[in-house]
Copies of this chain bind each other. A is one copy, B any other.
Amino acid sequence: MSAAEKYDVFQAIADPTRREVLHLLAAKERSIAEITSHFNMSRTAIAKHLHVLADAELVSGTKVGREKIYSLQPEPLTELKQWLSFYEQFWNNKLTKLKYVVENQFEKDKE
């Protein structure tokens, strides 16, 4: 596992456990053991998830003594944001249309 560039941001955040890990790391840096304590699965499983996240460069880990401390690296999420921004026009349009319909109906009701 953890071959360079094997996982991209989209794959990395597809798993709910990994999203939880990101959320934990958003609060503060944590060791693998500390992260594991929040889940109902083995340390090894969490370590694998961390490898995937590190592969997508969403986290980075540095050894401190015998611990490995992971921290959030949110930059790759900008790729996701860019991807999303393309679609915002569509749901904005839909909401605008909906708003128009609703308001029009409202006007009609008052007649």
By size class, the interface of chain A is 20 to 34
- Give Cα A45 to B27, complex, Å: 41
A10 in contact (CB, < 8 A): yes
Smallest CB separation, A93 vs chain B (Å): 9
Q: Which chain A residues in 8-27 approach chain B with CB under 8 Å?
A: 10-11, 13-16, 19, 22-23, 26
- Give Cα A23 to B19, complex, Å: 25
Contacts A10-B13, A10-B19, A11-B14: A75 and B87 contacting too (C-beta < 8 A)? no
Residues on A close to B: CB < 8 A?
10-11, 13-16, 19, 22-23, 26, 72, 74-75, 77-78, 80-81, 83-84, 86-88, 90-91, 94
